[in-house]
Structure 1
């Protein structure tokens, strides 16, 4: 598993939780399945560029923030 995919997924999950959104709500708002959100958050799959743009809008965050190591 790619470290970048893991980092991206952790940051998406953290931001989703900060906003009080469930994986189901995020999936619905971005037009993907809950399985897709789960796979991204666990670092199994990386998102396509179009989904990154949707995540930016729904999570009210810049794409760059998903790639930063905030620890």
Structure 2
């Protein structure tokens, strides 16, 4: 089974959280059922093109934004970078700053 629904779901969840929306609010704005939004975010449902368009419009993003950097090939640079960004987006600003400091320390250590 393809990992694409899970990747799309993660992207939807991250954009939703960035916009400060609950699943219920997104469902209302997209004219979709709340349960369906949850299933999309968890990668349990293959979204229809119509649903994807409704979600993107409700999130006020383009389809290009939603699908950017989605590459199901786990060994690609873009996939790895998108996974890092996806995980960071779900963290608080405080945790993101801590991770950035940690990366700086790792880079300094590597450069020595």
Given the two structures, how large is their TM-score scaled by the length of structure 1?
0.87
Q: Please state which structure has a larger fraction of its residues in helix.
A: 2
Structure 1 residue ranges (4+ consecutive) displaced by more than 6 angstroms after TM superposition:
none
Which position in structure 2 is the counterpart of 1:20? 20
Which position in structure 2 is the counterpart of 1:10? 10
Matches within 5 A, 1:1-71: 2-67=2-67, 68-69=69-70, 70-71=82-83
Q: How many residues align?
A: 71
Gaps of 5+ in 2: 71-81, 84-112
Please tell me whether Structure 1 or Structure 2 has the larger radius of gyration of its CA atoms: 2
Pick 1 or 2: higher relative contact order, CA cutoff 8 A, min separation 6: 1
Given the two structures, how large is their TM-score scaled by the length of structure 2?
0.58
